[in-house]
Structure 1
Amino acid sequence: MVSNFPNHSILQVCTGTSNSRRSLLQQKEEGEGGGGGGEATNPIDSYWRCQANWEMNRKSYAKCALGFGRKTRGGENSRIYVVTDPSDSDMVNPKNGSLHYGVIQKEPLCIIFAHDMTVRLTQELIMTSNKTIDGCGANVHIANGAGITIQFVHDIIITNLHIHDIKATNGDDIRDSVDHYDQRTASDGDGINIFGSTNIWIDHLSMSNCKDGLIDTVMGSTAITISNNHFSSHDHGLLLGANDTYADDKKMQVTVAFNHFGQGLVQRMPRVRWGFTHVVNNDYTHWEMYAIGGSTYPTILRQGNRCVASDSSAFKQVTHRDCTIEDVWKNWDWRSEGDLMENGAFFIQSRSPLKKESFSSEDMINPKPATPVPELTRFAGALICTVGKPC
């Protein structure tokens, strides 16, 4: 990444963007990033990917979010903390230079990585508010250990990481701030768990093969955008709302945009309880059971997505309403507008029309037509950027 880092881990002001991309379809299916040259194919990427000086202007990235998470600021206008040490052995007294040390600091931080590395988390990575974790400019893997927990915090941006092969853990004493550590119970093995948190933006990640979910959003979390990610090789994908009895999730608002749901996926892209989910311009090229599922009166608006049913699968239906009779789910707002259904794929709608007054137009990404969705999502996933060149 940037050369000649000082010996200490906190630098001056967080100024610079993260830019990268993927190019070949094979790379995309495998979740590997591709090199770029300043090409942006969707409205989020167009804000920053063409800047040759992205590494000197990281703070502008925080202004690029769209959708329900559009007000997320992460570590905007903060200092930069550089991860120089991939180790994660001491959960109570993490080492300065480690990722764990950076995320528990009180102050807002833009966290970047000094070089390519694989971080094997011994226990969940728990953070304080106002943090950006930005892997741009390095090949960074969170793998073969615990996952990331975003719990009771706000303004978190996570971008340009590979998160895969996440394991369940038995729990232990874990420091979650500079002033506090406590005993944690066992974790389920989610790649990212968003718990009781607001203003979250998850962008340009490559995620696969976690013990439980890839991304779970639960317990009253809201104002979230999940964009430009590449998901593959997993059963339980995205869970939005974990409990049929937890009515506080009615306030949950999540945007799922410009993602590629690729090879080896089974279900939950996403699966929704309560709340409102806008699913816009995503590319679904694989599901073994269903793509969109839900229960407990969720509102789902799908616009401009491409859904390609598998030749070998008998599951052509995009939708799945869990354990619910038609007399109940026919009153749920599940709409498909301008979606492209290929190879026998079909979406069963319910209720009409969707009440547009239930959300603000400023929180909605204006959908593009579904036909160019493969191009809109062509660079989904963790990207490769070279300092001094546009991504």
Structure 2
Amino acid sequence: MASLPYADVDFSLRALSGQAEGFGRFAIGGLHGRLYFVTSLADDGPGSLREGCRKQEPLWIVFEVSGTIHLSSYLSVSSYKTIDGRGQRVKLTGKGLRLKECEHIIVCNLEFQGGRGHDVDGIQIKPNSRHIWIDRCSLRDYDDGLIDITRQSTDITISRCYFAQHDKTMLIGADPSHIGDRCIRVTIHHCFFDGTRQRQPRLRFGKVHLYNNYTRNWGIYAVCASVESQIYSQCNIYEAGNKKKTFEYYIEKAADREEAKSGFIRSEGDLFLNGAQPCTLTGFSQECMFHPSEFYPHWTMEAASDSLKTILQILTGWQSIHRPEEQAQAVTV
């Protein structure tokens, strides 16, 4: 049977910190802060999630209650925060999280569903945010994206998340005028994209490492590379429904270039099922493509297989797991 990485992070509360794989591996969240207990499902006020997220000090935020938090506006998260949903079942609806000009954020084991309004994303990461880890979250049915990463935000890992019931799933890189997005680096691994229509992800300018994800029954394409982007697709499972095109290439012109270009996708060890067509670029030069080992020394990966497909359907998204015990001696507050 296939296994998933970092299985030991649930032995103690803060063992999660710094254990991401990939570009977001340095995210420590609220490691050096005190515990903040969410005791109210209210949108704001004492004991609310919003009150904890706006505090300027490092915090490890945990929940004493389960239920739905109806957000009337984006919930802004300040730097050095862990939002840790283990031990409860908490759903955010109405709006989503906004990670704006912040660093060292960990978001774990939450549900996002039913975000309404123009430009409303489940998790919006922009601008100039870095060292972000989104882990074991379930996201569906927002009016814009489920996760958007734009405006020079970088060093981000998305892992073991479940995406469903959505159109424009994940946009990385705002538009061809934002040439600063060349700095973007994102790792997406062990995620399950279940019938989402497109953008798993769509990338402009930056670098994305995809490994051991399962994407099935997309509506337009699975993965899209546009202007100057580089996507390293490694040991993923792509299972087509009615639409067979796995990889798409959109040609766009960067604001500081004369020639319009698409991006590049390198597929290595991917498994294509039910007639999924890789549609690789002709004339592709491997010299244009980064390799993950240039940026991090190791990652937990296995061959794409039926057993991996099975376990990704079970162990992605929100999980019914106990909140680990706090080990006071591990952290100086």
- In structure 1, stretches of 5+ residues that fail to align are 1-38, 52-56, 89-93, 169-186
Q: In the TM superposition, what is the alpha-carbon distance from 1:47 to its structure 2 partner?
A: 2.8
SS across alignment from 1:48: helix
CA distance in 2, matches of 1:387, 1:271: 34
8 Å Cα contact 2:35/2:61 also seen in 1: yes
Name 1:42's counterpart in structure 2: 4
Match of 1:139 among 73, 89, 93: 89
| Corresponding residue number in structure 1 for 2:302 | 368
One-letter amino acid of the counterpart of residue 106, structure 2:
I
Work out the number of aligned pairs and report it: 314
* TM-score for the superposition, normalised by structure 2: 0.89
Distance in 1, matches of 2:65 and 2:316, equals 22
Counterpart Cα distance in 2 of 1:383 and 1:135: 9
Shift of 1:41: 2.3
Question: What is the distance in 2 between the residues matched to 1:146 and 1:58?
Answer: 28
Deviations 1:197-234 (A, max 9, x none): 00000010010000100000000000000010000000
Q: Distance in 2 between matches of 1:375 and 1:217?
A: 29
Q: Name the CA shift for 1:329/1:375 in 2 (closer, same or farther; >3 Å).
A: farther
1:376 Cα deviation after fit: 4.9
- Number of the residue aligned with 1:121: 71
One-letter code aligned to 2:27: T
Q: Which residue of 2 aligns with 1:162?
A: 111
1:370 match: secondary structure: coil
Q: 2:214 aligns with which of 262, 275, 283?
A: 283
Distance 1:70 1:271, change over 3 A: same
- With over 3 angstroms needed to count, the CA separation of the structure-2 counterparts of 1:110 and 1:335, relative to structure 1, is same
**1 or 2 for the larger relative contact order (CA 8 Å, sep ≥6)?**
1
Tell me: CA distance 1:388–1:190, structure 2 relative to 1, closer, same or farther (3 Å): closer
Alignment partner of 2:286 out of 353, 363, 369: 353
Indicate whether 1:209 and 2:137 are aligned.
no
TM-score, normalisation: structure 1: 0.76
Paired AA for residue 284 in structure 1: T
Question: 2:158 aligned with 1:226, yes or no?
Answer: yes
User: Among the aligned pairs, what percent are the same residue?
Assistant: 32
Does residue 153 (structure 1) correspond to residue 85 (structure 2)? The answer is no
The Cα shift of 1:329 comes to 5.1
1:249 paired to 2:181: yes
Contact 1:258 1:376 in 2 (8 A): no
Residue 125 of structure 2: aligned partner = 194
Quick one: which amino acid aligns to residue 71 of structure 2?
Answer: L
Provide, for residues 284-335 of structure 1, a one-character-per-residue CA deviation record: whole Å limited to 9, x for no partner: 122011110131110000000001111xx1x20111122469x9657x4310
What residue number does 2:27 align with?
72
C-alpha contact (below 8 Å) 1:109/1:130 kept by paired residues: yes
TM-superposed CA distance for 1:283, in Å, is: 0.4
SS in structure 2 at match of 1:236: coil
The aligned counterpart of 1:269 is 200
Please report how far the alpha carbon of residue 40 of structure 1 lies from its aligned counterpart in structure 2 after TM superposition.
8.8
Question: Match for residue 24 of structure 1?
Answer: none
Judge conservation of contact 1:219–1:242 (CA < 8 Å) in 2.
yes
Contact 1:118 1:140 in 2 (8 A): yes
2:177 aligns to what SS in structure 1? coil
RMSD between superposed Cα atoms in Å? 2.2
Amino acid at match of 2:227: T
SS in 1 for 2:181: helix
Unaligned runs of 5+ in 2: 254-258, 326-333
Structure 1: distance between partners of 2:297 and 2:148: 21
Measure, in 2, the Cα distance between the counterparts of 1:262 and 1:157: 24
CA 1:324–1:198: 2 relative to 1, 3 Å: closer
Q: 1:137, CA displacement in angstroms?
A: 0.3
> Would you identify which runs of 4 or more consecutive aligned residues in structure 1 move more than 6 Å?
none
